[in-house]
Amino acid sequence: MSSSAEPVIYLDQTQQSVLFGALELFKRGEYGLAQPIFEKLIEHGTQNYIALYSLSVIESIQGRIDKALERINASIDIHPGFAKSFLVRSILYRNQRAFYDALRDAQKAYELDPTLVESQLQIQSLSDEIARLNAESLVALQPLADQRAQVVDVMALADQFTQSGQTDLAIKAYQEFIAIPLVDHKYIAMFNLAVLLNQSQRVDEAKELLIESLKIKPDFFMAYLSWGTIVEQLGKSEEAVEVWSSALNNSLIDLPAHADTKIKILNNIGRVQENLRRYNDSEATLFKSLTVDPNQGPVLHHWIHLRQKQCSWPVIYGTEHTQEEVMSSASPLSMLGLSADPKEQLNCAKKFASEKVGQFERMVPFKHNYGHTKLRVGYLSSNLSMHAVSLLTVELYETHDRNNVEVHAFCWSPEDGTPFRERVRSAFDYFHPISGLSDEAAAELIKSLEIDVVVDLQGLTAGARPDLIARGAAPVQVAYLGYPGSSGLPYVDYVVADHFIMPLELLPYFTEKPLYLPTVFQVSDSKRPIATTPSKESFGLPTDKLIFCAFNNNYKFTPEVFESWMRILRACPNSILWLLEDNTWSKANLTQAAMAHGVHPDRLKFAGRINPADYLARFRAADLFLDTTPYNAGTTANDALWAGLPILTLSGKTYVSRMAGSLLNSIGLNGLITFSHDEYERKAIELYNNPTQLSNYRNQLALAKENKKLFNTEIFCREFEGALVALFSTH
């Protein structure tokens, strides 16, 4: 038997009958009847390379070459030993004039199955075609040998070669042109050749050519841009910044003709500096970019967030933009911490959705009922790894009742190699990596699997794929956890809520309807390990003082909240404020701000980042957690309460400002929920002066955990499943 023999198809008898029936229709050319059957069969995963192969042929016949390629690539990924798939892909490549790729696949098909006559014919035909093209190419290259060509000629010729898949000849054309002495515009040919060499993984040659092009024309700033990009691809981020910075040292870059390139260089430098956690340098670089062109919305809102991370107050400072202009350009994520007004947050999200997200027809009608015996729930996220979202949700995936629910993951997370990542993966019934799929293809996958409910864990946070959500690939789409506000995205039907976090007066400021849960909106992981309770001395904390802590991310800090903390410290002289040291600039700015408020710097202590088990234990060295507003603690509040530390929160009018209040409300600790800065400060001072009351709160918290009222995943899961099922039963 040849190596292309088909593996056993592990389908039940009914599914096999369906497959063979579809193949009969396919053989008879009844593609319109066969196609939907094959699409249904895809949901059974690795066994259905045949269905994907057949769909590829149908798509090709219908003229959808890109879709056909997508299908055949998936078939080859599943079963790389099926010769006919390579033959089909060879034909598709040939259709796109990618002759060398087509020949490679035809040869692979022949290698897998030498009896496949079509592959032999394809190889011969392609070899003849390539020989003919090479002969024509030699003629086309002759003017270069005669040294009569202009740069526009070689560019046209190289483009022709590239379009036909003859990259090696395009490279040869540029090399021969560059070899001509005293030719004009040689630096342009060098640049174009460098691009081709880089694409062909000949990175060092590409870099050297760009350097040579700059010797000919030192103000050819596009070469600097590409040179730095190549260096960055090699993992040398600092060197990339140096390359781009050297371009800025040339005064000619300030000419109006180079403005666009200068902006690109500045933005690249700023991006890499942020990745290197050089926040102050990144902020300064992006500010320079904004001075060249103030009308860069994404750069402006990124610059704002950098200032938030550094606690550089006021956040909006030093630009020619008004407060209103800056607020209108802020990203939805930044707006959660900039504004306490739910209307402003909604308008920001809707503006983002209208400008950045595609408008599509909904793929599956709202609340369409597939009639499944089990509800198919699909979780979408790029954070199914060691990330705050998964740290909260992993036990939910494990706890779903498999008698009633089938749990899918649609994941574009990086592999972090941690045991926790493996725990997350194994918690799902079906795990679908979609990082290699386009938004359209991923949506088609969700539709083909007949997912009843999509749960979007991403929202508008970093790494989001809003154009995937906005296609409406499931009958019901639910926003949860990742983005604590209205996304404004099309076809996001519901947001998970409880009656505290989303009171009736907040409903007009959401494009989503509330999916109310009876107890609390937030899930948790009761299996989280907590290290041995540490002593205060182990963290350099005094044992004779009350320890307030605020371990929220620094970008959630605002001048107003910090002023409240300083008033609390002045009124509570025997206390310390313990903060998270996210970066050196926030630490310096917070220390300076404390001094400006008359608080000695020694009363601020800073904690670094540590592993999860020790991080949870660290909360036990503090006495009271002081929350931020308008961006409350979310995962951090969950962590603090799980570790047994009471939280004092300030609840506002927005969803994001009511997260910690929701958690406290669910376990009856409403006495720790305040609704104004004055009340917040008075309560903190009251607890400082009344250690017994603070101890009572800690005891209530411990009792709630002991009685499994605090973050009971089993109860949450039943409530969540019940709410999802009810959406369809009321249809």
Residues 6+ apart with CB under 8 A from 550: 557, 565, 577, 578, 579, 580, 625, 626, 627, 628
Q: Span 37-41, mean pLDDT?
A: 79
The answer to whether 478 and 456 are in contact (CB under 8 A) is: yes
Q: What is the largest CA-CA distance in the chain?
A: 96
Chain segment 383-429, per-residue pLDDT in tens: 999 888 999 999 999 999 999 999 999 999 888 888 999 999 999 99
Contact assessment for residue 680 and residue 538, using Cβ atoms and an 8 Å cutoff: no
> Is the confidence at residue 3, as pLDDT, over 90?
no
- Where exactly does CATH 3.40.50.2000 map onto the chain? 537-710
Lookup result for tokens 């093209």: 133
> What does the pLDDT average to over 104-122?
86
pLDDT of residue 153: 79
Mean pLDDT of 471-484: 97
Q: Is 598 left (phi over 0), alpha (psi -120 to 50) or beta?
A: left
**Strand ranges across the sheet with 375-381:** 430-433, 405-411, 375-381, 453-456, 476-479, 494-497, 513-516
Cite the residue boundaries of each domain of the chain with CATH code 3.40.50.11380: 375-516
Q: How far is CA 476 from the centre of its chain?
A: 22
Confidence of residue 47 (pLDDT cuts 50, 70, 90): low
CA dihedral 111, 114, 120, 122 (to 10 degrees): -50
The first and second tokens of residue 443, run together, are 């949506």
Least trusted range by pLDDT, from 32-41, 519-528, 594-603, 650-659: 32-41
Which pLDDT score is estimated for 658? 98
Put the strands of the sheet holding 575-580 in their side by side order. 604-607, 575-580, 546-550, 624-626, 647-650, 673-674
Report the distance separating Cα 23 and Cα 34, nearest Å: 7
Residue 523 pLDDT more than 90? yes
- The residue ranking higher by pLDDT, 374 or 141, is 374
Q: What is the dihedral of CA 102, 105, 110, 116, to 10 degrees?
A: -70
The fold of the 13-130 domain, in CATH, is 1.25.40
Pairing of strands 453-456, 476-479: parallel
Torsion, Cα 361 364 366 371, to 10 degrees, reads 170
- Checking 58-64 for CB contacts under 8 A at 24+ apart, the result is 58/26, 58/31, 58/34, 60/88, 60/91, 60/92, 60/95, 61/31, 62/31
Burial class (CB in 10 A: 0-12, 13-18, 19+), 493: buried
| Inter-residue contact 410 to 434 (CB < 8 Å) | yes
| β 375-381/453-456 pair status | parallel
Rounded to whole angstroms, how far apart are CA atoms 461 and 332?
A: 8
- Give, for 24, the enclosing helix (H) or strand (E): helix 13-27
Across residues 581-597, what is the average pLDDT? 96
Q: Report the pLDDT averaged over residues 515-533.
A: 94
CA distance readout (Å), 600 to 250, 325, 336, 459, 573: 46, 37, 31, 41, 11
pLDDT category at 320 given cuts 50, 70, 90 is: low
Residue 316 pLDDT more than 50? yes
| Tally of CA atoms within 13 A in the half-sphere of 725 that contains its CB | 15
In angstroms, rounded to a whole number, what is the distance separating the alpha carbons of residues 343 and 348?
A: 9
Per-residue confidence at 2, pLDDT binned at 50, 70, 90?
very low
Residue 407, beta-bridge partner list: 377
According to DSSP, residue 6 is labeled: P
Residue corresponding to tokens 């699997």 = 449
Percentage of the chain beyond pLDDT 70 is 93
Domain with CATH 1.25.40.10 in the chain: 13-130, 150-356
**pLDDT for residue 13 is more than 70:** no
Q: Compare 667 and 64 and report the one with higher pLDDT.
A: 667
Q: Which residues, listed in sequence order, are joined to residue 649 by a DSSP beta bridge?
A: 673
Report residue 14's pLDDT band, with 50, 70 and 90 as the boundaries: low
Q: Which fold has domain 150-356?
A: 1.25.40
Q: What is the reported pLDDT for 148?
A: 52
- Domain at 537-710: CATH code: 3.40.50.2000
Q: Which CATH number fits domain 375-516: 3.30.530.20, 3.40.50.800, 3.40.50.11380, 3.40.50.300?
A: 3.40.50.11380
* pLDDT at residue 1, as a whole number: 31
Residue 653 and residue 323: Cα distance in Å, rounded?
A: 21
Task: Tell me the per-residue pLDDT of 234-279, one tens digit each, with 9 for 90 and over.
Answer: 999 999 999 999 999 999 999 999 999 999 999 999 999 999 999 9
Residue 462 has pLDDT above 90, yes or no: no
Has residue 7 got a pLDDT over 50?
no
pLDDT tens digits, one per residue of 328-341: 777 898 899 889 99
pLDDT for 563 equals: 98
Given a cut of 70, is residue 490 above it in pLDDT?
Answer: yes
Instruction: Report whether pLDDT(45) > 60.
Output: no
Residues 6+ apart with CB under 8 A from 417: none
> Which tokens belong to 530?
């907590």
Question: Beta strands 494-497 and 430-433: pairing type?
Answer: unpaired
**How many other CB atoms sit within 10 Å of the CB of residue 623?**
22
For residue 77, name the pLDDT band (cuts at 50, 70, 90): confident
Indicate the pTM of the whole model: 0.78
Share of the chain above pLDDT 90, in %: 65
Cα gap 561→553, rounded to integer Å:
13
**Tokens read off for 466:** 């809003």
**Residue 146: pLDDT band by 50, 70, 90 thresholds?**
low
Structure token digits, residue 75:
């078939």
Place 173 in a pLDDT band, splitting at 50, 70 and 90: confident
Residue 130 near residue 103, CB atoms below 8 Å: yes
pLDDT digits (tens, 9 = 90+) for 647-681: 999 999 999 999 999 999 999 999 999 999 999 99
Least confident of 392-406, 432-446, 466-480, 514-528: 432-446
Confidence tier at 5 by pLDDT (50, 70, 90): very low
- Answer whether 306's CB lies under 8 Å from 276's CB: no
